[in-house]
Amino acid sequence: MALDPFQLPERLNLAQVFLHRQAEARPDAVALYADDERITYGQLSDAAHRAAATFRALGLDWEQRVLLMLPDSPQFASAWFGAVEAGGVVSAVNPGLKPDEVTYYLNYTRAKLLVTDPATAATVDAVRAQCPHLRHVLVSGGEAGRHLDYDHELARAQPGAPVADTLGEDVGVWLYTSGSTGFPKGAVHLHRDFLFNALTYGLPVLGYTSQDVCLSAPRLAFGYALGTNLLFPLLAGAASVVFREKPTPEKLYALLARHRPTVFTAVPTVLNQLLNHEGLAQADFSSLRLAISAGEALPAELYQRWKQRTGVEILDGIGSAEMFHIFITNRLGEVKLGSLGRVVDGYEAKVCDEQGRELPRGDIGTLWTRGNSMAQGYWHQRDKSKQTFRGEWCVSADRFQQTDDGWFYFCGRGDDMLKVNGKWLSPVEVENVLLQHPAVREAAVVAFKDADGLDKPRAFVALRPEARPDETLAEAIKAHVREKLEPFKAPREVRFLDALPRSDRGKVLKTELRG
């Protein structure tokens, strides 16, 4: 049955449409590669059925929340699909969190069921008294201790109940924002949201087929990788590589050689790490047909270095937890250097002023987006929901510029933009020029106030191994920027760091640099 994103069926369950439907048609095809295992569609479908039965037996009712704190693994996939199959609402965060973070997520979601790994389970034990809603902890990947063993529970489960007869309009998933301050907010999504984006962006733009093998550096707990390395490939009948370890350059190069992926999901930080790693000399990228970048702006200099060395196209784009996935992107055969591309069919975007009035093309303003994957709001964040979700439109904190021919350029987050000498300065523009200096490995630009209380740009720079951080190099870096850009855009100060502070999603934590 062909699926039309603009006429989705009224009754819709994510587990059925993304997984079980394919398993019925191609049960023996490989869905996941994990270490030495090959998990077929039939096996993954059976595991999801068993997970749903397990969750139901533990008391999960429709619309109740299941929280995952798991590494990327077949167990993550079976638990995720099992939760929505049972009619529950699933959300996921990375394992290895600090006690206050574990406490926050358990109390924020009020999840009765948690599926996690042994190390995180130990943290849960330490804060359990502060989490009154939690009833059951299922542990995968090691000794369960006092908790339930997830794999054992699935082995003894008795599946048989039908997939929950949910509506496309039912809540199915929470995705968490990567806010720069405070704990992340949960964006509440409907079942239909994920299928709409898969049918407008995932399959038509990225071109997944059953022949693809997919690899992702970002983790499945993030909507970005959840789409490109699980949902979209499954819908197309492709296979995905999942691994529990951190996505270090060594690990990614080993997986590239072993599995010969065709689609690589990355963020600019990872692309930069791969290009600066000694493994680059022996790496073979010939299996890749494309790479995908999102999460932060892809510097033009980094794109050029990657393309020159690998020959692989990068499709840079922008998405958000609020919209589930990417809604503005470059396309194969149509990449514009430095741009995030054009709007995905099925979505609309515009650049507006502070009053919500659309600005003339070329002006810098706030990005407004609409499309049928927009979240219902933030859980328990009414005021912030009203700021972000305005009717059919989602209003971001990002500053953009749109050209006359419809291409979008990222200029920075609203709190990143600098006004210097009465003119707007985009940190992204300066950072790209900084990366062109032969000594610079990473760079970030933030504002500081000079002796007169005026905002000026300050650059934080991580150097290549052979470079020496001293005042002579700092002055050379400033001069380099003045040669490439208008002089007022050059940093007044250059500070050297071993590495830029980053979140678990790879984004530079500029709030720490401003402090």
Q: At what angle do helices 300-310 and 427-435 cross, to 10 degrees?
A: 40
- Indicate the average pLDDT of the chain: 93
User: pLDDT at residue 1 above 70?
Assistant: no
14-195 and 420-514 agree in CATH topology = no
Supply the pLDDT for residue 269: 82
Beta strand ranges found along 224-361 (DSSP E): 239-242, 263-266, 290-293, 314-319, 326-329, 342-343, 348-352
For tokens 């049928």, the residue is 372
Superfamily of domain 420-514: ANL, C-terminal domain (3.30.300.30)
pLDDT band at 508 (very low <50, low <70, confident <90, very high): confident
Mean pLDDT of 416-428: 70
Distance CA 218, CA 265 (A): 7
For residue 412, which of 365, 343, 347, 457 has the smallest C-alpha distance? Answer: 365
Supply the pLDDT for residue 452: 64
For residue 292, which of 349, 239, 216 has the smallest C-alpha distance? Answer: 216
Three-state secondary-structure class, residue 250: helix
Distances (CA, A) of 420 to 400, 444, 491: 18, 17, 11
Mean pLDDT of 457-477: 93
User: pLDDT at residue 181 above 60?
Assistant: no
Distance CA 12, CA 21 (A): 12
pLDDT band at 9 (very low <50, low <70, confident <90, very high): very high
Reply yes or no on domain 14-195 having CATH 3.40.50.980.
Answer: yes
User: pLDDT at residue 316 above 90?
Assistant: yes
For residue 196, which of 175, 219, 215, 169 has the smallest C-alpha distance? Answer: 169
Amino acid present at 383: D
Task: List, for residues 423-466, the tens digit of each pLDDT value.
Answer: 667 788 888 889 999 999 999 998 888 776 667 889 999 999 99
Q: How far, rounded to the nearest angstrom, does the alpha carbon of residue 17 sit from its chain's CA centroid?
A: 22
Other Cβ atoms closer than 10 A to 160: 7
User: pLDDT at residue 475 above 90?
Assistant: yes
Locate the domains of the chain by residue range.
Answer: 14-195, 420-514
Q: Which of 103-112, 117-126, 265-274 bottoms out in mean pLDDT, i.e. has the lowest?
A: 265-274
Task: List, for residues 393-414, the tens digit of each pLDDT value.
Answer: 999 988 899 999 999 998 877 6
Supply the pLDDT for residue 272: 87
